[in-house]
Amino acid sequence: MHQDQIRIATREEAIQICEHLQTFNESVIGTYRSHPVWMIHRGADAEMLGGIVGEIVFGWLNISVLWVADSHRGSGLGSALLKAAERAAAQEGARHVQLDTFDWQAAGFYAKHGYTEFARLGDYPSGRDRIFMRKSL
């Protein structure tokens, strides 16, 4: 019935869709806010060596990206970035952290920092796993 009227949305329409969902959510649970947690580390020559991008929503820090330059992996920079983000989130009232990673990325790294796996999506991408992890602060 509606299939012939469905089309690709514009960026502006996608933003409106998200705003409509937020309005609905707020009608059920009340007003809520999100708070960005963005951290960066640059070397002496201003080269970007690592960073973390996350957002606090509903008392959870949702980490989207943690990246460390190849030249600094194993140096402790990733651990320092993760701990700094966790501290900043806790200061903003976050009680938990959640993230996802892939089987070729950093599941072991996160496990060493107290994260536990709560779900695994197989064959994402083909032949690999996407791993969902959490930690209480």
Residue 29: its pLDDT value, please? 94
What's the whole-model pTM score? Answer: 0.88
Superfamily in which the 33-136 domain is placed by CATH? Gcn5-related N-acetyltransferase (GNAT) (3.40.630.30)
Residue 62 structure tokens: 């949702």
How many other C-beta atoms lie within 10 A of the C-beta of residue 90? 14
Residue 1: its pLDDT value, please? 66
Strands 96-102 and 129-136: antiparallel
Q: What are the pLDDT tens digits along the chain (137 aa)?
A: 677 899 999 999 999 999 999 999 999 999 888 999 999 999 999 999 999 999 999 999 999 999 999 999 999 999 999 999 999 999 999 999 999 999 999 999 999 999 999 999 999 999 999 999 999 99
Residue 33: its pLDDT value, please? 86
Residue 4: its pLDDT value, please? 83
Residue whose entry in the numeric block shows the structure tokens 């701990």: 83
Element housing 63 (H / E)? strand 60-68
